[in-house]
Amino acid sequence: MKKDDIDSPLLVGKGGLQAMRLQAVDGACTEIYCHGAHVTSWMPAADSGHVDDQLFLSSRATFTAGSAIRGGVPIIFPQFADSGPLLKHGFARSTEWQFINQTAGTPASALFRLQDTPATRKHWPYAFIAEYEVSVGGNSLQLVLRVINSDDRPFSFTVALHTYLRISDVDAVRVDGLQSLRYRDSAAGGVERLASDEILSIQGEVDRIYFSALRPITVVEATRRMQVRATGFTDAVIWNPGAAKAAALADLEPDGFRHMLCVESAVIEHPITLATGASWTGTQELLLQ
């Protein structure tokens, strides 16, 4: 990336899109695009023992206005998937957000904002303000999303932080913290089941929405443990497309599915309803252990 303006922290990133590199005093850093307020990279501090990127970003990801970026952390709002009449996964991930400010230190943080426009109201006819704060430091990446109803009537929405974790091998990864939860198996046509396995392994396509997922989820590998903690989010999504579906994704490299696992903090089963002037806040923290 190169400097966009001498007085601005924004840089010119891939595809000519505005982006910024946020670095804490301890060396931990993250890369954020104004396009979708999309976090595309996260490097923990060197003393964490892990100096590689903790997020998966496809080498074929598209950095184009109006398109979603494959990898990192897309913001899903105001609709998850195609579970309603709106644009699939909403418009937040493919809309330009405004950079507001940044704070130096450890952690370092940056704030972005999205407000309704004539373009968003074509998809969702409400006035709103969304604020997104990204904080990085040590072995932690914290993402805080706040939605405010600035309309003169109530509205409802579903939401998710579609986090792509980088993993070494999908066949060897395990997911802990989902035991005994009810889930919807989207890969099996939407049938609902109860999680009986102590540890989830990824075999073929996995596309599950776990309901009332209120405890931390831990992604376990041979040399790394990543804990996903959430507040305000009531559900969780675990997704890997598997070989067959991955082959149909033009913006994912052929073996990309082997090195990614989506663990998403979400609100899906019971949509959030906000009265005029009310707000909702959801926090997701990735903690490298």
Residues forming the active site: 162, 264
Residue 56 near residue 71, CB atoms below 8 Å:
yes
**How far, CA to CA in Å, does 140 sit from each of 91, 109, 121, 196?**
27, 12, 35, 30
**How far, CA to CA in Å, does 260 sit from each of 2, 222, 238, 250?**
28, 15, 11, 16
**What's 75's DSSP letter?**
E
Comparing CA positions, the residue from 264, 235, 74, 270 lying closest to residue 157 is 270
Comparing CA positions, the residue from 138, 70, 128, 63 lying closest to residue 106 is 138
CA distance 267 to 287: 21
Residue 150's DSSP bridge partners are none
Token pair listed for 75: 């913001």
Residue 227's DSSP bridge partners are 218, 287
CA distance 18 to 4: 8
Neighbours of 143 (CB within 10 A): 23
- H or E segment to which residue 235 belongs: strand 235-240
Neighbours of 217 (CB within 10 A): 21
**What's 100's DSSP letter?**
E
CA distance 150 to 152: 7
